Every structure is written in C-alpha cells, then in structure tokens.
Amino acid sequence: MSVLQRKELEDSPLADLHAIASELGIDGYRGLRKADLVAAILDLQGGDGAGADDATEEKPALEKRGRAKRARAKPARDEPVREVEDKAAAEEPEGEVADEPEREEEAPAAAEAEPEETAAGVLDVLPNGSGFMRREDGPDCYVSQAQIRRCELRPGDEVAGPVRGARRNERHPSLVRVTQVNGRDAEPPEERPEFAALTAVHASERLPAPSVLEQVPFGKGSRVAVAGPPGAGATRVLREVVTTLAGAPGDLSVSVVLAAARPEEVTEWRRDTDVPVYGGSVDSTPDELGQAGTLAVERAKRVVERGGDAVVLIDSLDAFEPAVARRLFGAGRNVEQAGSLTVVAAVGEGWEHLRLASTRVVLEPGAGEPKVAAERSGTQRADLLS
C-alpha cells in the first residue's frame, strides 16, 4: 500500500482535501490554508512523502518482487486492494520501503487466518473513488476503488459481502469482496439506467396521505413542500405522512432525513418509526448533514433505477446549504422508463422551495393543530392523479 504523496495532495481540489481531513479526524480543518491542510494530512499518514525520490531506484525491484509474491500466494481478487491511501487508514512513512516486501508477503496469509463475517450496508463513495459501506448494526467498512470499479457500484447501492477487521495502522474494517448489490449477485454487474438520463413526467398515481393533507393530494414522484413558521406543525405533518406511507400496501421504500433537528426529536424518530433515519441533531456540521441527505437520496435513486418507488422525507430542508437543498429537493420526479422518487420536505418559510415544489402545503401559523391554508396550497396537474 502507498501513502498519498505531497504532490498528489497539492494538486487535489480543496473539497477532496476536506473530505480526507474529515475522515482522518483533523480538528478545525476548514480553517486551515491549503498548504497547512496538506501538511496536517501528511503528518497523520506518518510521513510527508518527501523521501520518495530518494527511493526511486530501489522501489521498482521491491515492488516487482512484491507483486510476484502476491501472485504466488493468492489471487488478487480475494484481497481488498487499496490503490490510494484515503480517509480510511494511515500508512507508515514511505521511507521504510525495505519493509514493504515483508508486509506484502504476509498479508495474504494473515487474511486467510482471520475469521470473516458477512455484513451489509449502503455504499458512500468518496471524492477519491474509494468508499465506505455505512452500516446500521456495526462499524463502517472500507471499500476499495478496485471493487467499486469492478462491480460498477454507485453511491447508495446496498452492498453485502465478507469483511475483515482493521489491521495495524488501519482505522476501519474492510470489505474483502462484494458478493451482492441491491439483493442480486455482484458479478457480472447488472445493467441499469442512469437516474439523470431518465425522462421526468408529471405524477399520475396518488399516494395515501393523512387526513390533514386531504385537500392537497400528491403522487408518486411529487416534490412536496410543507411550509410554515415555527410551531405551525410541519414536523408533526411529516410524522403522520411517514406513518401513513409505511403502513400502505405495496412495495414502497420510505426513509427519513433529519437536518439540525432537536436531539429529543431524533430519538423519537428513531424509536417510533421502522424506516431508515439519516442525519442528526443541531450539533451536526453542515458537511455531515449534507453527506447524510445525499446518501439517503442516492439510495432512493438506485431504487428508482430498478423500477421501484421511493419516498424521502426531510425535516427540514432549510437547514442545508442552499446548493445541497436544491439538489436534494430537485431529485424528486416520476420517470417514464422506471419508478418514482417522491420528496416530502419541511421548508420553514423558504418560498424558494415552494416555487420548485409540485405540491405546496402552507400551514396556518399558531393554529395549535396543523391546519392547511387551502387558498395558498395546491398541486400542479392534480387532475392527473388517480
């Protein structure tokens, strides 16, 4: 395995450096200049890569011997390949090249001796091409670039396979190989359309809704904005929508994204609902919230590509950075060639989101119980809903 070299980091966009620094646990990385951020990342890797040129003559022979030993020991497919050192682990200084052949020779034998468990989760792809399998029942697992490319994985794919524990200088367990993707065999990769290339059309099939929303129907593929000042009951409306949809007949994938919610509400959502809950409370950083919202929507897109119907409820959209909020809300659509993605979001008093919505639900302020202002609410092409 190799560490990221100084030049690689200096040539990388600042957003990629922020992603790496976040996973490495560097405090205050957003306030660092690029040069200081590069230095901090290199320090955590155990070296600055400056001595790489000194070892240029010695490394080809060592690497050649290492490759030969790996080929004799075990096929490369059975060992997770980490082509680039990313947020998942920190490696020893590159100056210690004399130790590399030994580690490479011992790694396959160690992998064979380690007990493996099968795990499943949702794939989160990092800017450098590697990723993590996010799990609800255990620690996140590193997924190499090679596995992502070979199985043609996309963010939000539900992946499963055997995992091994973290080794020396690794912070995370690793996915040994991908055996299933979205409930099907991982290889050969399944042919599927790209969500962005699908044709969006008006919603035509009505979704069940709680009684408070009887006046403003919405369907599969709608973008539903629930607007109102604090205390108008938007969160309560979303809770009732989740309860109604989760108990509806049919195969409907429902998930919830919480953005800057009260800690007590996060607990209630997780305890009182049987659907996946992403995101967190008010102490989450903007990056953490954006990552959680993006992962939930990407998972829903993969459902749509397979011809299914998904619903993502967001409480609340105005807690995201504007560009992230538009991307999440704008993902809602009904498509001709596949399924549908419905987004139901509390938007506070964000009138920009009401403009983008296909269904507008405006709540009366201070009504105690959630009450829809009928004259300010409505659904585009409600006549198409059946």
Give me the chain's average pLDDT, please: 81
pLDDT of 74 strictly over 70: no
CA distance 73 to 92: 23
Q: Residue 348: what residue type?
A: G
Contact (Cβ atoms closer than 8 angstroms) between residue 130 and residue 143: yes
Whether residue 337 is predicted with pLDDT greater than 60 in this model: the reply is yes
Looking at residue 110, its pLDDT comes to 43
- What is d(CA 377, CA 234) in angstroms, rounded to the nearest whole number? 14
Contact in structure between 257 and 296 (CB atoms under 8 Å):
yes
Angstrom distances, CA of residue 97 to CA of 47, 57, 84: 12, 11, 16
Mind listing the pLDDT tens digit for each residue in 140-176?
999 999 999 999 999 999 999 999 998 888 889 999 9
* pLDDT at site 3: 60
pLDDT of residue 136: 86
Give 179 or 44, the one with higher predicted confidence. Answer: 179
CB burial readout 322-338, b (16+ within 10 A) else e: eebbeebbebbbbbeeb
pTM of structure = 0.70
Better-scored residue on pLDDT, 40 or 306: 306
- Mean pLDDT for 214-238 is 93
Residues 106 and 168: their CA atoms lie apart, in Å, by: 13
Instruction: Give the residue, 240 or 60, on which the prediction is more confident.
Output: 240
Residue 31 CB partners (closer than 8 Å, separation 6+): none
Average pLDDT of the segment spanning 279-302: 93
Using CA atoms, how far residue 336 sits from 203, 219, 220, 383, in Å, is: 10, 14, 12, 18
Task: Please report where in the chains the tokens 């059309």 appear, as a residue.
Answer: 201
Residue 144: is the preceding peptide bond cis (ω within 30°)? Answer: no
Candidates 353, 351, 356, 372; CA nearest to 234 is 372
Q: Which amino acid is at 383?
A: D
E strands present in the chain: 117-125, 131-134, 141-143, 158-164, 174-175, 180-181, 184-185, 200-201, 223-227, 252-261, 277-281, 309-315, 333-335, 340-348, 359-362, 378-379
Judge contact between 280 and 266, C-beta under 8 A.
yes
Name 133's bridge partners: 123, 141
**pLDDT band per the 50, 70, 90 thresholds, residue 57:** very low
Average pLDDT over residues 80-92: 39
pLDDT at 15: 75
- The one-letter amino acid at 279: G
pLDDT of residue 367: 64
Judge contact between 105 and 79, C-beta under 8 A.
no
The DSSP code sequence of 74-117 is S-GGGS---SS--TTB----TT-GGGHHHHHHHHHHHHHHS--E
pLDDT at 243: 93
Q: Residues of the chain with pLDDT > 90: what percent?
A: 55
pLDDT for residue 102: 31
Ranges 94-103, 114-123, 324-333: which has the least confidence: 94-103
Provide the pLDDT confidence category of residue 103 given band limits of 50, 70 and 90.
very low
